[in-house]
Structures are given as C-alpha cells and as structure tokens.
Amino acid sequence: MVQFLAQTFVNGINVGALYGLAAVGLSLIFGVMRILNVAHGEFLMVGGYIGFWLFKLYGVDPFMGLPLVGIFLFLIGIVFYKVVFSRVAKFHEEVKLKNSLLIAFGLYLIFPQIAMVLWTADERAISPKYSGQAFDLLGVRFGYVPLWNVCVAVVIVLAMYLFLNKTYFGKSLRGTAESWKAAKLSGINIEWTFMITFGLGISLAGIAGVLIALTQELTPVMGMPWTLKALIVVVLAGMGSIVGAFVAGLILGIVEAVSAIFMGPYTIAIGLLIFLIILVLRPRGLFGRA
C-alpha cells in the first residue's frame, strides 16, 4: 500500500514537473506583459515536433537537442511578438490586453490546422533507445526518461530564478512586471523587454514540448489541453512567482495522480475543481503576492 502511494507520488511528480515547466513560460509572459497567451500550448506542440524531427531525421538525442529547440522557439517567439503582438501596442492598455487574448485565441485555432497539414494527425512520440528503461528503488519504479525530465525541468526553473534575481536584465524584467511606468522612467526599453520576454516564454514552452513528447504522444491538437494545465497551475500558484508556478505544477501533478485512483478518466475535472476552490478561498493563489 505504501509502495502504491509512493509510486503514485512519483508518477505525479513526473507529470507535475512538466506541468510546472509549461506554466513557467506562461507565467513569465503574463507577469511581464499582461498577455494571457492562450496559444502557449501550441508553441509547446511546435517545440515537441521540432524535437521529434531532429531526432528522427538527424538522430539528435532529444536532451542534447534541447538547446537547439530552445533557441529556435526563442526566435519564433520574437518573430511572433514583432509581427503580431506588438501591433496592439498602439492601443490603450485595456483594449491591448483583450486584443492580445483574441489574437492568441486565433493562433490556437490556426496552429493545429497547419500542424495537421505539415505533419499529419498521426500520433508520434520521441523514443530514443533508453526510452522504456527504469530502475527500482524500494519497490518504486523510476523511469530514466521521466527522471531526466524532472531534472531538466528543475535545472531550467533554477536557471530562470537566478536569471530573474541575480542578473541586471532579469531584474529589469521583474521591474517591468511590477510597473510599466516605473520601468519606462528608469530607462528600461519596454518594447525590447517585451520582445525578449515573449521569446523566453515561448522558448520554455518549446522545451517543455520536447520533454512531453518523450513521455506522451505528440499530436497537432495537444496544444490546448496543455495550455489549460498551464493556466490552472498559474491560478493555483498565483501571479508573480516563477518558482511558485513550478511547485504548483508539481502539486497539481500529485493531486491528479492521487485523484486518478478513484476518478479514472474524469480526473481532468479536478482541474476545474481546483480552479474554483482557489477562486473562492484564496484568489491570490498559494504563492502569489498582492
């Protein structure tokens, strides 16, 4: 029994780390730019496919290929910001946010279609040689790939934390998140900051996508379910904490794993339940400020 619970716990962490990583990018973009990127999962999907094709066509090990995917999605993010989202910058703030939302919604509809045309609706997965391998510890099974995933996710989140708190540019991102006006008056180039932030957030989504493709299927329509998970995690964590978002992701993963025991395929409804509970009891989330 204890073993069973421990296994459930470990499974929860494995998925939760991915939830957390997906949420970190979303949280960053929303925190700094107030754009709720409901197309976040779509970029995650694109990253996954790129990782897949790098592996399939050029034999690039998915973990080794992460920096490549990261850079590529960073550039894609910047392009999308410049071409699409920055054009709403000329509107007033309220309209700006609504329009960003709608644009992201449009992208959410477009991406899967394009993906289906490019890569067909077939399910794929990244399966390197070490894919199914695992080791047992005290009766609990630890898959190598999920374990690596968790490690990578932790390292990335740590790197983000150091970036935001110990580097000058990172601090300017945090400042921008607090107040655009104060940032502008401090000499921070806000447009540039937005562009970099968006690229960074999208890059994180892409990396998450590769890790996900290592343990789950890759399909053109996988975007929205992941966007949703990320949204729920962000609400659970509260605004303004990157590390909090990751931890909340882990928590969601564990809660889902435990609920799956008695809820089976309806476990997804847990997300809605959590969302409502947070809204009613603690709107600022577990780790949120203000």
Partner 1 sequence: MFEVNHIDVYYGELKALWGVSLTLDKGEIVALIGANGSGKSTLLEAIAGLLPPTTGEILFEGVRLDKEPSHRIVELGVCLVPEDRGTFPGMNVLENLELGAFSKRGRKEKEETLHVVYGLFPILKNRRNQLARTLSGGEQQMLAIGKGLLSRPKLLMLDEPSLGLAPLVTKNIFEAICQINQTGVSILLVEQNVHIALKVAKRAYIIENGRIVQHEQAKNLLEDKRVRQAYLGIHST
Partner 2 sequence: MPKNWKSFSIFGGTIALLALLPLFTNRSDVLTWSCLTLQYILLSQSWNIIGGYAGQVNLGHAAFFGLGALTTRYLWLAGLPFPVSLLSGAFIATVFALLIGIPAFRLRGIYFVIGTLVLAEILKVVIDTRFPVASALSTETLLTYSLIPRYYLSLMGAVLSVIAVYFISRSRLGLGMMATREDEDAAKTSGVSILQNKLIAFAISTFLAGLAGGIFAFYMVAIQPGYVFSPIWTFDSVVIVFVGGIGTLIGPIIGSVFFVLLKQWLSLHLPGGSHLAVFGVLFILVVLYMPDGFIEAIRRFGKMMTLGRKPAVQGR
- Return residues touching partner 2 (CB under 8 A): 30, 36, 38, 84, 87-88, 91-92, 95, 97-99, 101-103, 105-110, 113-114, 116-117, 224-225, 228, 231-232, 235, 265-266, 268-269, 271-272, 275-276, 279-280, 283
Burial (CB count within 10 angstroms: exposed 0-12, middle 13-18, buried 19+), residue 170: middle
- Please, what is the minimum distance in Å from the beta carbon of residue 79 to partner 1? 22
Which residue in 174, 216, 275, 286 binds partner 1 (CB under 8 A)? 174
Q: Which pair of tokens denotes residue 264?
A: 């089976």
Note whether 149 binds partner 1 by CB under 8 A: no
Q: Please state at what angle helix 190-215 crosses helix 168-178, rounded to 10 degrees.
A: 100
Residue 176 φ then ψ, to 5°: -60, -40
Which residue in 188, 221, 258, 260 binds partner 1 (CB under 8 A)? 188
Yes or no: say if 53 and 39 are a contact pair by the CB < 8 Å rule: no
Which residue in 68, 101, 154, 190 binds partner 1 (CB under 8 A)? 190
**In this chain, which stretch among 4-12, 131-139, 172-180, 280-288 interacts with partner 1, using CB under 8 A?**
172-180
- Please, what is the minimum distance in Å from the beta carbon of residue 116 to partner 2? 7
Burial (CB count within 10 angstroms: exposed 0-12, middle 13-18, buried 19+), residue 100: buried
Which residue in 59, 90, 168, 262 binds partner 1 (CB under 8 A)? 168
Q: Tell me 218's DSSP state.
A: B
Judged by CB under 8 A, the number of residues near partner 1 is 22
Which sign does the torsion angle of CA 83, 71, 162, 275 carry? positive
| Shorter beta-carbon distance to partner 2: residue 92 or 181 | 92
Report the partner that residue 286 touches, choosing among partner 2, partner 1, none (CB closer than 5 to 8 A by kind). Answer: none
Note whether 82 binds partner 1 by CB under 8 A: no
CA distance 249 to 20: 4
Note whether 3 binds partner 1 by CB under 8 A: no
Note whether 93 binds partner 1 by CB under 8 A: no
- Please, what is the minimum distance in Å from the beta carbon of residue 64 to partner 1? 36
Collapse the DSSP code of 124 into the 3-class scheme (helix H, G, I; strand E, B; otherwise coil) and give the result: strand
- Please, what is the minimum distance in Å from the beta carbon of residue 26 to partner 1? 20
Yes or no: say if 212 and 18 are a contact pair by the CB < 8 Å rule: yes
Report the partner that residue 289 touches, choosing among partner 2, partner 1, none (CB closer than 5 to 8 A by kind). Answer: partner 1
Note whether 87 binds partner 1 by CB under 8 A: no
Residue 150, CA distances (Å) to 10, 121, 208 in order? 10, 28, 11
Yes or no: say if 16 and 253 are a contact pair by the CB < 8 Å rule: yes
Length of the chain: 290
| Shorter beta-carbon distance to partner 1: residue 183 or 251 | 183
| Shorter beta-carbon distance to partner 2: residue 28 or 150 | 28
CA distance 161 to 6: 29
Report the partner that residue 226 touches, choosing among partner 2, partner 1, none (CB closer than 5 to 8 A by kind). Answer: none
CA distance 47 to 209: 5
- Residues in Cβ contact with 273 at an 8 Å cutoff, skipping those fewer than 6 apart: none
Residues near partner 1, by CB under 8 A: 92, 168, 171-172, 174-175, 178-179, 181-191, 240, 289-290
